[in-house]
Chain A
Amino acid sequence: MSVSDIKTGFSYKKLIVPAVLGLILVLLATLPVYTPSYTVVLMITILMYIILTVSWALFSGPTGYVSLAPSAFFGVGMYTAAILGKELHLAGMVIAGGLFSFVLALIIGAITLRLRGIYFAMFTFGLVVLIQQILLWWEITFTHTRGRFVIPVDNTTIYYIMLAIFVTLTLTVIFIRRSKYGLALQSIGQDEEAAAHSGVNVTLVKVFTFAISALFMGAVGAIVATRWTYIDPYIAFNPTFSFFPVLMSIFGGMGQLYGPYLGAAIFAYLEELLITNFEYYYMLIFGIIMVITIVFLPSGIVGLIQRWRMMKWWKGGLAKDDANT
């Protein structure tokens, strides 16, 4: 029995959500069969953003420690694909990308997560540019080339690997959320000192969760590299990719599990629509949406939905409180 099961008990209603999710999974798994290749490509992009966003929200959501470094881990994954792509089998390369990011995050976490959250934000903020510069210097000094090529892979394979990462991530997120670690993460975000005094090894939990979120960012970076095929320090380490997960999570809302998924899907689709015609304008619009969301809708769409449900509950009078999800 998981920790959260204890509260609500068991009922057949709880089978509806898994059933729907299972159906969605089947649809997604068979997607390439019944849709044109354009849709597969679109789904690859959407899945990429969802993975980045959900991984970010996995750690930064409950703990409140804002990581501004998703792009750094994403880039590490990409460079892993570029450097090890020839040596390793595709799946191995993806896992390697994830592992290198995992280790990097462990180191960063060990240094910064013992301190106040602002230092974590500060350190992660500069990471993207730092790694970019290290690689630039390296490429100028040692390899004498700018950028690398990555062996391309066909879209269907990319899609299935993305899907695999997506499913693994979702299962991980659900598991963590419903387990004692989810409880610990929440408590850290709400009162870290009290959590520590309740027996939670806060540093360990923070560092480990941060590393897990980085793992998925690295893995998805590795597979995306095979789509982009040419990468250099500027392409792989792009601050924009640090911005997207944050924007999408906050817009979607982090109070519920589905928030980041929703936010990512919406913005991924928006980006696809706008990028061809309005290259800088769409980023400008996203920036404006970010500010507006922080000011007017800090709990995101999820918050909006919850408020609407609360209002319905109030108006409905004695409706049972099943908002305990």
Chain B
Amino acid sequence: MPILEGTKVCKNFGGLAAVSEVDFCLNQGEILGLIGPNGAGKTTLFNLISGALVTRAGEIKFKNKTISKMKPFQICRHGIARTFQSVKIFPDMTVLEHLLLSAIFGSAGRIPTREAKREALNLLEFVGLKGLENVPARDLNLVRQKRLEVARALASRPEVLLLDELMAGLNPAEVAEAMELVKKIRDSGITIIMIEHVMKAIMGICDRIIVLHHGEKIAEGTPQEIASSKTVIEVYLGE
């Protein structure tokens, strides 16, 4: 049974079909890539999964439970966390406070503050932000802010993590580091969907890839299958 699945998911904005009858499924422990040209509907799909937007039609199930109608905070507590395309941090809150917030409010159960702090510090080390717990988020550079977003998402103890363009704006060395981080996260037992434009990352770490174009799923398969797919190449070269 897939940990997350969507059936004929639809979303419209006015007359525009942003996501059109998309089926997808995510198997436990895999890293699923979500690619497509700009405006293909990738972030919209994330928004539908995380509850930021409401589906017009179709169903999304998490561990066989329908989550399509739930609010973002409920979905977070059920175990799906995400990062955002343009980094959304709390500028005046410290790094530690970001994680505490997520740990206290985003986890399924109640966590005593002391334990939350311990876990938070471990997480900071895990993502490479050790020692920065008292820095206000606005004082971090972009790379670190992205790491903070990931750490904040992880602090809510998710089973599924949605990463929206984690590699955007990173230089090749930083991309490699990020790829390592993603693999580490998966190895710790979390299933991942990642939206990416950086092909090296997608081809390098994804187990499977879904391709969206104009809101529709046009291809699905392993990296090799996708790389050699005529449809996909046309779509990308045609852009």
A residues near B, CB below 8 A? 1-3, 6-7, 180, 183-184, 186-187, 190-191, 193-202, 324
Contacting pair A180 B88 (CB below 8 A): no
Which B residues are in CB contact (< 8 Å) with A202? Answer: 73
Kindly specify which of B15-23, B98-106, B213-221 makes contact with the partner chain: B98-106
Contacting pair A198 B105 (CB below 8 A): yes
Which A residues are in CB contact (< 8 Å) with B50? Answer: 197
Shortest distance in angstroms between A13's beta carbon and chain B's nearest beta carbon? 17
CA gap between A270 and B28 in the complex, in Å: 66
Shortest distance in angstroms between B89's beta carbon and chain A's nearest beta carbon? 7
B229 at the interface (CB under 8 A from A): no
Contacting pair A199 B113 (CB below 8 A): no
Nearest A residue to B152 via CB reads A198
Which A residues are in CB contact (< 8 Å) with B106? Answer: 198-200
B150 at the interface (CB under 8 A from A): no
* Pairs across A and B, CB under 8 Å, 10 listed: A3-B100, A6-B114, A7-B133, A183-B104, A190-B93, A193-B52, A193-B88, A196-B72, A199-B106, A201-B73
Contacting pair B97 A183 (CB below 8 A): yes
Which B residues are in CB contact (< 8 Å) with A198? Answer: 73, 76, 98, 101-102, 105-106, 152, 156
CA gap between A158 and B106 in the complex, in Å: 45
Give B34-51 as 1s and 0s: 1 = Cβ < 8 Å from A's Cβ atoms.
Answer: 000000000000000010
B92 at the interface (CB under 8 A from A): yes
Which A residues are in CB contact (< 8 Å) with B105? Answer: 180, 184, 198-201
Contacting pair A184 B90 (CB below 8 A): no
Q: How large is the interface on B (under 10, 10 to 19, 20 to 34, 35 or more residues)?
A: 20 to 34
Contacting pair A1 B113 (CB below 8 A): yes
Q: For window 33-88 of chain B, which residues contact chain A by CB distance below 8 Å?
A: 50, 52, 71-73, 76-77, 81-82, 84, 88
Nearest A residue to B76 via CB reads A199
B96 at the interface (CB under 8 A from A): yes
Which A residues are in CB contact (< 8 Å) with B72? Answer: 193, 196-197
CA gap between A246 and B117 in the complex, in Å: 36
Contacting pair A190 B96 (CB below 8 A): no
Contacting pair A194 B88 (CB below 8 A): yes
CA gap between A191 and B52 in the complex, in Å: 13
Given contacts A180-B105, A198-B152, contact A324 B134 (CB under 8 A): yes
Which B residues are in CB contact (< 8 Å) with A190? Answer: 90-93
CA gap between A199 and B103 in the complex, in Å: 9
Contacting pair A1 B90 (CB below 8 A): no
